[in-house]
Amino acid sequence: VNLLRKFGSNKMLRKIKALFMQRKMLNIEEISQMLKISESALMGMLQILIQKKFIEKIEFDCKTCSSGCGSCAFANQKDVYKLVR
């Protein structure tokens, strides 16, 4: 059972990597919809790719903005990741 789980996650990691190679930057919602997996399951796989320095999370600097998050285009995409290598 563990081998099956590992094989399945390796296959999914390859799919996620391929998406980043194509698009360079993605948010968690996009990846989840494209691969038809839950965002919570996806988070664990993204953490693996972060640890391997394949991707990194983009941190938006909202301190300089005074308009509020309601009108911010980035607020809807708070979980954005980009390709590192």
β-strand pairing of 25-27 with 55-57: unpaired
What does the DSSP 8-state code read for residue 79?
A: S
Predicted TM-score (pTM) of this structure: 0.73
Q: What is the pLDDT of residues 1-46, one digit of tens each?
A: 344 455 467 888 999 999 999 999 999 999 999 999 898 889 989 9
Q: What is the pLDDT of residues 39-70, one digit of tens each?
A: 888 998 999 999 999 999 987 766 666 666 65
- Distance CA(17)–CA(52), nearest Å, equals 12
